[in-house]
Amino acid sequence: MSGPRLSVLLPTWNGEAQLARLLPVLARQEVQGGFEIRAVDSGSTDRTRGLLEEAGAIVTRIERSEFRHGRTRNDLAREARGELFVFLSQDALPAGERFLASLAAAFDDPRVAGAYARVLPHPGDDPLTARTVLDLPEAGEIPETRDLDGRGPLSSLDPRERARLCAFNDVASCIRRSVLERIPFPDVAFGEDSAWAARALEAGFRIRFAPEAVVLHSHRYTMRGAFERYRIDAAFQREVHGWRVRPTLLSAARGFAHELRQDLRHVARNGGAVHLLRSPFLRAAQVLGQHAGSREPWPYRAGVASGRSGR
């Protein structure tokens, strides 16, 4: 008997609260060819595994110390039966019942290796958290298909353009099975999605941004969390793409002023002026993290855990 067209693959850890929202939404998805749910759980101590099994998911358990973003996703895909692999973070919430179908539609183009969804904030997010999400490229509404046709190798491109072309977000993404078998996620501690996209582009495939598929996903950062998150990302951009996000203190100062202006504009349009009291502290931590990451040695080597929150 043939398998489902899609396999929804979930890395999880203590995700009871998020899965209580996610699994009912997945159960209502309408997609031709059907889908299965598979999860790898990193030693949860709550009802994560029970909720998954109640929803009909096939669950594999590993020790928390064994989890790695790229390698664990490869292992999860190896047992899946679908021709398309949908990777979801446990705290990503699809919007609507056509989310899976909208992602799958991107693969009508036989050169598309991977597609990723539009990411929007939750309706109840505070203004600063919402604005942070809405300023990201993956919050855009214009679909885009990217390849290297006529561009030459990635190494020949401007660092910022290289980073833009390799954008890929496995918070909510889909990869063609045949491509992942040929080009697995690299076993890196951070940025496995962007690093995979670079390899796929170099192999002649295309990457699709599919804003028709929407997920709600956000993090409310503390000052410490913002500094660390943006430091790691800036270090990754410098190491992998050669792009220094905030190379000087002057660039950090300009970035700080820009972030404050954007917060002010967002609050003026949407309300929540009290949150502006938090803005200078949050944005200072953000741009100083970017400055630090643009200058310091790459902190993550094999065997070192990623600083990203969520799975």
Residues 223-257 as b or e (16 or more Cβ within 10 Å = b): bebbbbbbbbbbbbbbbbbebbbbeeeebbeebbe
CA atoms within 13 A on the CB side of 51: 23
With vertex at residue 115, the alpha carbon angle to CA 109 and CA 116, rounded to the nearest 5 degrees, is: 155
What is the C-alpha end-to-end distance of the chain, expressed in Å? Answer: 32
pLDDT in tens, 282-306: 999 999 999 999 997 665 543 333 3
pLDDT score at 219: 95
Contact in structure between 197 and 117 (CB atoms under 8 Å): no
Q: What is the DSSP string of 60-127?
A: EE--GGG--HHHHHHHHHHT---SEEEEE-TT-EE-STTHHHHHHHGGGSTTEEEEEEEEE--TT--H
pLDDT score at 301: 45
pLDDT in tens, 90-140: 999 999 999 999 999 999 999 999 999 999 999 999 999 999 999 999 999
The whole-number average pLDDT for the span 205-231 is 97
**261 pLDDT above the threshold of 80:** yes
Q: Between β-strands 84-88 and 6-12, what pairing exists: parallel, antiparallel or unpaired?
A: parallel
Name the token pair of 106: 């991107």
Domain 6-216 CATH (choose: 3.90.550.10, 3.20.20.70, 1.25.10.10, 1.10.10.10): 3.90.550.10
Contact in structure between 25 and 100 (CB atoms under 8 Å): no
The whole-number average pLDDT for the span 26-38 is 97
Specify the domain boundaries for CATH 3.90.550.10 within the chain. 6-216
Phi, psi of 236 (to 5 degrees): -65, -45
Amino acid at 93: L
Please list the residues that pair with 39 across neighbouring strands. Answer: 10, 59
Contacts of 2 (CB under 8 A, 6+ apart): none
pLDDT score at 130: 98
Contact in structure between 262 and 131 (CB atoms under 8 Å): yes
Please list the residues that pair with 260 across neighbouring strands. Answer: none
pLDDT in tens, 176-203: 999 999 999 998 878 899 999 999 999 9
Helix, strand or coil for residue 181? helix
Q: What is the DSSP string of 215-282?
A: EE------HHHHHHHHHHHHHHIIIII---SS-SHHHHHHHHHHHHHHHHHHHHHH--GGGGGTHHHH
Helix, strand or coil for residue 140? coil
How high does pLDDT run on average in the chain? Answer: 93
pLDDT score at 298: 62
